[in-house]
Every structure is written in C-alpha cells, then in structure tokens.
C-alpha cells in the first residue's frame, strides 16, 4: 500500500513550483502513481495506490487525480489510484456524507474505493493541526457510523472504508497522552450488525489512522473490531531518519569534506557522500519498521 498526501505530491513535483490551484500536488501525485505502476511489476506484489486526508478546501486536488484515473481507466480498464480518502470530518455529518456520496458515485464507475472519516483524528500531520480539538469529537458514535453506512451503501458498485475516530491521533506522544478506545469500533459493528440482521457481524470496514506508537495489544483489538488497514506515518518517518542518522554516525569521518579521511589526506569521499548511500540506509531502516508493522497486523505471507 503506497499512500500519497497532498503535501507529498507537491514535494514530488518540486517545492518551488507554483501550487496555487493544487497543480503541483496533482502533477506530483500523478507522476508518483505512474512511477509505481511502472515498477510494481518488478516486485511481484499487488500494490494499492491510495491518497491520504483531503479536506473540503482540497477537493480540487482529488478532482485532478480522478480525471487522471478516468483517463487511465478508459485505456486500461483500471484506475490510476485504487482509493482516495476524503476527510470532511470538519463539516456537519450530513454534509460530510452527502459530499462523500457524490464522490463515491464517480469513484464507483472506475473501481476506486472511498475512505471517509468520522470524528476527528487528533494530533498534527501534513500541515493539518488538530491538537486542540474538543476531545468528545475524537470518539465516533455508532449512530454516525450507521447513518454513513446506509447512505454510502446506496451507491451501486460503491466500495468504502471508514476511518472512525476512537481516540487515535497523528504523531507519537509521551505515554499517557493518548487514550485509545477501540471498543468504539466494536460497539459500532454491533450496532450496525443488529440493524442489518443479515448474519454479518462486521459490516463496516474500518481504517486505523495514527497507528504510530500503538501497542500490539491495541492493534490486535482494533483488527478484531474490523480494522482492515492501519496508517503508519510518524514511525516510518522516524525509521527513515534513524537509518540516515546511523549511516552518518558510522561514516562520520568520511563525510567531513570531499577529500581526506582517516585512511589518507588525499583519499576522495565521493562514495560516502553520494546521496543515494544515506537515502538507501534510510530506506533499509524504514523497510525493517514496515516488516514489524506487518507482523503486528497479522499480515505476513497472506498473499500466497
Ligand atoms: Zn490520518
């Protein structure tokens, strides 16, 4: 699963490019997606291409990506992106879901899944700061999940997942600052299952935002409550940096000038400061963290 954020798309296009109308965020995310489509075959694994939080003011970004998916679908029968998240949790529930439904109708025509948000994920990520939000909004109500399920389920071929807040936050904080209540997801499933009464005890597919820093116990409990995807950003960011940090520490004396190191004052250091060396160390450290996440999520060797 590869996720592009609006800020990530802009970064890929280049931070100096004008982004007044989200053109850099659109072009960068499309370029990244095309890169993934091109190289994914070499890894011999299926890849899900997703985009992260899109609030109301950012919808033109998704409009640009959807247009690219529609074009790609016409040529290949597949969308460019597998799924998009719309985060309209700042808006009143009815407005949130009616906009989501409008988009799901378009997504469904090209096999794109919708991830929507209920309640507010706390913390701060990608320039959106929810650190001061009223704590009652961090916990979704079962009635809200049921309302959304009913509305979105009316869309033919509509596929959707729900990022319901249960005290989860973006970022990693000192212990005691996050009060995770995955029982909220359990209660919501039970509520919907009773309403539907069709034998399915987990009708809603949930997404766990803010997985960084979570205990394996909370992760496993969330999976039991019907979580099918966990977002992990802050921990992977740290792992990437930690790999670069360790590389610099190991080769410090070879990284202080272009020429001259402990072996000889005349020796060039190019092979140490080539950016690919430190960036590769970051990738390796991040890959190790992702393997740990896959283990935490019971997601090892499940594709065979
Ligand atoms: Zn999130």
Question: Helix, strand or coil for residue 235?
Answer: helix
- Number of residues written out for the chain: 304
Mean pLDDT, residues 166-188 taken together: 84
Contacts of 157 (CB under 8 A, 6+ apart): 108, 109, 111
From the CA of 257, how far away is ligand 1's center (Å)? Answer: 41
Q: Whose structure tokens read 């272009």?
A: 258
pLDDT at 280: 98
Q: What is the 3-state secondary structure (H, E, C) of 194-219?
A: HHHCCCCCCCCCEEECCCCCCCHHHH
* Token pair listed for 141: 């109500």
Res 50: pLDDT: 98
CA 52, 55, 57 angle in degrees (round to 5)?
Answer: 130
**276: buried, middle or exposed (CB in 10 Å: 19+, 13-18, 0-12)?**
exposed
CA distance 129 to 117: 16
Q: Tens digits of per-residue pLDDT, 204-258?
A: 999 999 888 888 999 999 999 999 999 999 999 999 999 999 999 999 999 999 9
Q: How confident is the model at residue 187 (pLDDT cuts 50, 70, 90)?
A: very high
**Residues, Cβ < 5 Å to ion ligand 1:** 121, 209
CB 204 within 8 A of CB 191: no
- CA distances (Å), 104 to each of 93, 141, 213, 229, 243, in order? 16, 22, 32, 19, 40
Strand-strand pairing, 122-125 and 128-130: antiparallel
Find the 17 Cα to ligand 1 centroid distance in Å. Answer: 26
Burial class (CB in 10 A: 0-12, 13-18, 19+), 93: middle
Please report which confidence band the pLDDT of residue 86 belongs to, taking 50, 70 and 90 as the band edges.
very high
Share of the chain above pLDDT 90, in %: 81
- How many angstroms separate the alpha carbon of residue 170 from the centre of ligand 1? 6
Contact 73, 79 (CB under 8 A): yes
Per-residue pLDDT, 135? 64
Q: Convert the pLDDT of each residue in 17-56 to its tens digit.
A: 999 999 999 999 999 999 999 999 899 889 999 999 999 9
296 is catalytic: no
DSSP 80: S
- Banded model confidence at residue 177, pLDDT cuts 50, 70, 90: confident
Q: Domains plus CATH for the chain?
A: 2-232 (3.20.20.70), 233-304 (no CATH)
The alpha carbon of 194 and the centre of ligand 1 are apart by a number of angstroms equal to: 29
The predicted model gives 140-154 an average pLDDT of 95
**pLDDT tens digit sequence for 93-123:** 999 999 999 999 999 999 999 999 998 777 7
**Rounded CA gap, 169 and 210, in Å?**
5
Distance CA 38, CA 300 (A): 25
- Which of 65-74, 145-154, 163-172, 173-182 shows the lowest per-residue confidence on average (mean pLDDT)? 173-182
Given the residues 22, 52, 235, 296, select the one marked as catalytic: 52
Query: E strands of 99-220, at which residues?
Result: 113-118, 122-125, 128-130, 160-164, 169-170, 206-208
- Cβ atoms within 10 Å of 100's Cβ, excluding its own: 24
What is d(CA 158, CA 117) in angstroms, rounded to the nearest whole number?
16
- Determine the distance separating the centroid of ligand 1 and the alpha carbon of 192, expressed in angstroms: 24
């Amino acid at each position: 699963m590869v996720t592009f954020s609006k800020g990530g798309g802009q970064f890929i296009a280049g931070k100096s490019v004008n982004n007044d109308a989200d053109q850099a965020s659109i072009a960068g995310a499309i370029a990244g997606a095309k890169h993934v489509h091109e190289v994914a075959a070499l890894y011999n694994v299926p890849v899900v291409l997703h985009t992260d939080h899109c609030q109301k003011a950012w919808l033109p970004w998704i409009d640009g990506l959807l247009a690219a998916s529609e074009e790609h679908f016409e040529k290949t029968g597949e969308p460019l992106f597998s799924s998009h998240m719309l985060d309209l949790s700042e808006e009143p529930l009815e407005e949130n879901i009616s906009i989501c439904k409008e988009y799901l109708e378009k997504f469904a025509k090209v096999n794109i899944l919708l991830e929507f948000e209920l309640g507010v994920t706390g913390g701060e990520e990608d320039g959106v700061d929810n650190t001061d939000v009223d704590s009652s909004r961090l916990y979704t109500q079962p009635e809200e999940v049921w309302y959304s399920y009913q509305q979105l389920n009316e869309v033919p071929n509509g596929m959707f997942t729900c990022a319901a807040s249960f005290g989860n936050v973006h970022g990693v904080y000192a212990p005691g600052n996050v009060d995770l209540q995955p029982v909220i997801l359990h209660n919501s499933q039970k509520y919907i299952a009773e309403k539907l009464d069709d034998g399915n005890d987990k009708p809603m597919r949930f997404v766990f935002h803010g997985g960084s820093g979570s205990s394996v116990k909370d992760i496993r409990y969330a999976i039991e409550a019907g979580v099918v995807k966990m977002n992990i950003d802050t921990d992977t960011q740290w792992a990437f940096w930690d790999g670069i940090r360790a590389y610099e520490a190991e080769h410090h004396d070879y990284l202080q000038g272009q020429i001259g190191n402990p072996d000889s004052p005349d020796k060039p250091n190019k092979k140490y400061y080539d950016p690919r060396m430190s960036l590769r160390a970051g990738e390796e450290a991040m890959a190790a963290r992702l393997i740990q996440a896959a283990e935490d999520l019971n997601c090892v060797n499940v594709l065979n």
